[in-house]
């Protein structure tokens, strides 16, 4: 399938390209056929001159969190599985948590999780956390968690090239996205809420030849 249809679409949905992408979502365009990323949504965790790193948000891995990190099981949002964060370093575990309030994320706040790094600023902000910490010490601050095995990684300039080539839409992340109870429907939901041309792409058939 040629990529000509994408020439009419701005990967940033008509918004200016942000200078840095942590907290943004990379939404695979319908013509991406890499099985690691086809119709997937990636949350960017880090982005700079050295490259970028993110986790796939909508790929449950089939292994219960309880089997891998039992003390995080009770906080894991259903499906309480270890998600496949990407093809790189599959033995590495990355944790995202949603907090009860912005106040809980403030520097020095009681119960703020060790290793907290803000990614999505919202009434219930989302960020990374140190999975080696004990969540029982958080005093009810954590209201949702997700564990990822592996990550997606790009060398310097590689992600920018993929965006320019039409592989990704880049849109703002919302607090409900990284720890969704319906991860399988995330790709369509994120595109639909953008409106305009991106919302139209949410209805693009998985097999265009079948239409």
- For 130, other C-beta atoms within 10 Å of its C-beta total 12
Two tokens at 12?
């940033």
Give the pTM: 0.92
How confident is the model over 133-152, as pLDDT tens digits? 999 877 899 999 999 999 99
pLDDT band at 3 (very low <50, low <70, confident <90, very high): very low
Phi, psi for residue 86 in degrees, rounded to 5: 160, 175
Instruction: Pick 208 or 40 by higher pLDDT.
Output: 40
In this predicted structure, the answer to whether residue 29 has a pLDDT above a threshold of 90 is yes
Give me the chain's average pLDDT, please: 91
Find out if CATH 3.40.50.450 is the number for domain 4-210.
no
């Amino acid at each position: 399938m040629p990529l000509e249809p994408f020439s009419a679409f701005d990967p940033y949905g008509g918004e200016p390209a942000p200078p840095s992408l942590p907290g943004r979502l990379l939404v695979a365009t319908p013509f991406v056929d890499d099985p690691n990323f086809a119709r997937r949504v990636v949350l960017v965790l880090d982005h700079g001159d050295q490259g970028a790193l993110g986790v796939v948000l909508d790929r449950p891995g089939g292994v219960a969190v309880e089997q891998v990190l039992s003390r995080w099981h009770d906080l894991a949002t259903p499906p309480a599985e270890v998600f496949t964060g990407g093809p790189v370093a599959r033995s590495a575990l990355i944790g995202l948590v949603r907090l009860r309030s912005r106040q809980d994320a403030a520097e020095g706040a009681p119960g703020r999780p060790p290793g907290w790094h803000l990614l999505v600023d919202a009434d219930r902000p989302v960020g990374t956390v140190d999975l080696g910490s004990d969540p029982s010490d958080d005093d009810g601050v954590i209201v949702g968690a997700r564990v990822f095995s592996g990550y997606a990684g790009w060398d310097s300039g590689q992600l920018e090239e993929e965006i320019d080539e039409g592989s990704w839409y880049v849109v703002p992340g919302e607090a409900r996205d990284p720890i969704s109870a319906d991860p399988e429907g995330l790709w369509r939901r994120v595109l639909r809420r953008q409106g305009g041309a991106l919302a139209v792409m949410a209805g693009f058939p998985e097999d265009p030849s079948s239409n």
